[in-house]
Amino acid sequence: MKISIIGIGAVGAAVATAVAGTGLAHEMVLFDRDGLRARAAAEDLGHAAAFSYDIKISAANNYRAMRGSDIVIIAAGANQKPGETRTDLLQKNVAVVSDIIPRVMANVDAKRVKLIIVTNPLDVMVMLAQKLSKLPASRVIGTGTMLDTARLRTILGRTLGVSTRAVHAYVLGEHGDSSVVAWAAASVGGLPLDEFCRQTKNPITAAARQTIEYRVHNAAYEIIRGRGATWDGIGAAVADLLRSIVNDERRILTVSTVDGAGREKLAMSLPRIVGADGVVASLHPKLSSGEATNLRKSGKIIRANYDAI
């Protein structure tokens, strides 16, 4: 399995570390327009690999080194500065992704390569990458709300006093401020959330739900304020997505991929089955009418941002 990563900043470096830690790749190529940064990361990671899995890690100074890649991960581009939204990055990162995709496609096998998109604003970048690459939508996969979903499951698990793994709850829509918590579809230990709360006598009030949503929506802003950027969570999310693809695990992940065509074309996050062929099916959880309305609004925001580029 050969994996190339483009953009070796805070996120790309964390992704490279997490990917190396899966033991699934035999070769990893790191590319950044700052060649010194990519070379330093490849060197450092190569030393780290001596303590774990055998993997050939190199820094590339051109796209030819990506030939033969099974998966190309795109984490290049501007990140949010404190107070900036993901949408504020739109025009800058349209330029970055528009520069990268044709160069990647000139060097990979379009019949089998898969692109994983991490750059924000995520959903618009997925639409742009799919359009420019002309790959089937199932093979252009954005990490979407995987991280938001992880944040929700973590907070809910802590609130309910159960393992995060027992919580099945999703954040849908835009990977951004309009994302929607699908409370109506949430379950814990096989019980609908409300029933779990009733049986454990641990109600989650409407006010508590609002607080949880606020924390999910603001997690990135808080982390950026304290650390300058977010990287560990997204690194782990990409590694998880990669495992599901490479091992054909068919996990259900809230990834973003393009559905529809023409004016109906839209990438947003839904629970989707992810396996060796990429996204193999999409699911539509039962939502409350308010959640369904908010999800439609979220889709309209993504589409308006796409139309603005």
**188 vs 130: CA distance, rounded Å:** 35
Question: Can you tell me which of 3, 4, 5, 8 binds ligand NAD, judged by CB under 6 A?
Answer: 8
Q: What angle do CA 233, 236, 241 make, to 5 degrees?
A: 125
Q: Which residues contact 1 (CB under 8 A, 6 or more apart)?
A: 24, 25, 26, 27, 70, 71, 246
Q: Which of residues 130-149 bind ligand NAD (CB under 6 A)?
A: 143, 147
What is the rounded CA–CA span in Å between residue 214 and residue 236? 23
- For residue 194, the minimal CB distance to ligand NAD (Å) is 29
Question: Of these, 2, 37, 39, 250, which contacts ligand NAD (CB under 6 A)?
Answer: 37
Residue 249 beta carbon to ligand NAD: minimum distance, rounded to whole angstroms: 20
Site for ligand NAD in 173-192 (CB under 6 A): 175
- Within 272-301, the residues that bind ligand NAD by CB under 6 A are none
For 22, what's the count of Cα atoms within 13 Å in the CB-facing half-sphere?
A: 25
Instruction: Work out whether the CA dihedral 171, 172, 173, 178 comes out positive or negative.
Output: negative
Asked if residue 138 lies in contact with residue 148, where contact means CB atoms within 8 angstroms, the answer is no
The dihedral of CA 292, 295, 300, 301: what is its sign? positive
Among 43, 81, 99, 218, binds ligand NAD (CB under 6 A): 99
**Is 69 a residue that touches ligand NAD (CB under 6 A)?**
no
State the residue for tokens 């496609």: 105
Residue 122 is a binding residue for ligand NAD (CB under 6 A): yes
12 binds ligand NAD, rule: CB under 6 A: yes
Asked if residues 296 and 288 have their Cβ atoms less than 8 Å apart, the reply is no
Binding flag, residue 89, ligand NAD (CB under 6 A): yes
- Residue 159 CB, shortest distance to ligand NAD, in Å, is 23
Residue 79 binds to ligand NAD (criterion: CB under 6 A): yes
Q: Binding segment for ligand NAD among 7-15, 128-136, 187-195, 288-296 (CB under 6 A)? A: 7-15
Over its C-alpha atoms, the chain yields an Rg (Å, rounded) of: 19
- # residues contacting ligand NAD (CB under 6 A): 32
Shortest Å, Cβ 153 to ligand NAD: 15
Active site amino acids: 175
Long-range contacts, stretch 78-85, CB < 8 angstroms, 24+ apart: 79/9, 79/10, 79/11, 79/120, 79/229, 80/120, 80/220, 80/221, 80/224, 80/229, 81/224, 82/221, 82/224, 82/225, 83/221, 85/176, 85/177
Q: How far, in Å, CA of 2 to CA of 237, rounded?
A: 19
Of the residues 10, 25, 29, 116, which one makes contact with ligand NAD according to CB under 6 A: 10
Q: Judged by CB under 6 A, does residue 234 bind ligand NAD?
A: yes
Note whether 76 binds ligand NAD by CB under 6 A. Answer: yes
With contacts defined by CB under 6 A, name the span among 8-16, 129-137, 207-215, 260-268 that binds ligand NAD: 8-16
Contacts of 198 (CB under 8 A, 6+ apart): none
**From 3, 5, 11, 141, residue interacting with ligand NAD (rule: CB under 6 A):** 11
Which positions lie near ligand NAD, rule CB under 6 A? 6-12, 32-34, 37, 75-80, 89, 93, 96, 99-100, 118-120, 122, 143, 147, 175, 229-230, 234
